[in-house]
Amino acid sequence: MSRISETFARLAKDNKKALVPFVTCGDPRPETTLHILHELVAQGADIIELGVPFSDPMADGPAIQLANERALAHETGLPEVFEIVRQFRQQNTDTPIVLMGYMNPIEYMGYGAFAEKAKAVGVDGLITVDLPPEECDEFIPVLKANSIDPIFLLTPTTSDDRAKRILSHCSGYVYYVSLKGVTGSNQLNVDDVASQVQRLKAYTDLPITVGFGIKNAETATAVSKVAEGVVVGSALVNQVAALADETDEVIAKEVAAIISTMRQAMDA
């Protein structure tokens, strides 16, 4: 059983939901990221989505676009991301790490080289925002051969037929995008999310996490009642940006404080 599957099984046994923070690797500095990862886990994160910096993050709003720019200014690419995951694994062998990004850096490195290196450093899953199911037949077997879960996005506009096709390639968990638009969007409707999650459950037994629009403990708690996991990204990235000139320790503490508040509210 993979780390991701073990995590969801443990949470289900304890009647809890997964709290999944997203941060961009290398933001605001590469050396800051490791501090943030460990502090997120200490404050209640169950799975971490780690953004791979890219020059054209088309699914992301202004906050994460700027995070990518800050990381790229420090030349944070896939090799640097792998190194940070490797260092994280020296102290933490339990918390799943899911890389989230775009296909261009992976294609440049090569499918086999990417998957082998990801496995070697301890990556558990991969979300590639711009990989459609029609074009994944070559890549997905390479990931699965290296015990890396391919995780796909589904949206409010995903048809039933397309959802079935996407879910047939998915493992680990499903990422449901709660809003039409980019990361950081507003106006989350929990009733709509609940309806969509139930629709998807007819086609998969995988845990469903919900992201986009989770900004505070209130929205995290509401979404956790209708899905197996809650993903929070822009709220954390905004905090990193606001504290970019502070020490690594201060940034990590303040970013993780948001997760701590959500964790307490979700468990209450």
Order across the sheet with 153-154: list the strands: 149-151, 125-128, 97-101, 48-51, 18-24, 229-232, 208-211, 174-177, 153-154
**What's the token pair of residue 37?**
């990862």
Return d(Cα 240, Cα 186) in angstroms, integer: 20
User: Is 107 tagged catalytic?
Assistant: no
Buried b (16+ CB within 10 A) or exposed e, 100-128: bbbbebbeebebeebbebbeebbbbbbbb
Contacts of 258 (CB under 8 A, 6+ apart): 232, 235, 236, 239
Q: Write down the catalytic residue from 60, 80, 124, 228.
A: 60
60 carries an active-site annotation: yes
177: enclosing H helix or E strand: strand 174-177
Catalytic residue chosen out of the listed positions 49, 80, 149, 228: 49
Q: Is the peptide bond before 28 cis (omega within 30 degrees of 0)?
A: yes
List, by residue number, the catalytic residues: 49, 60
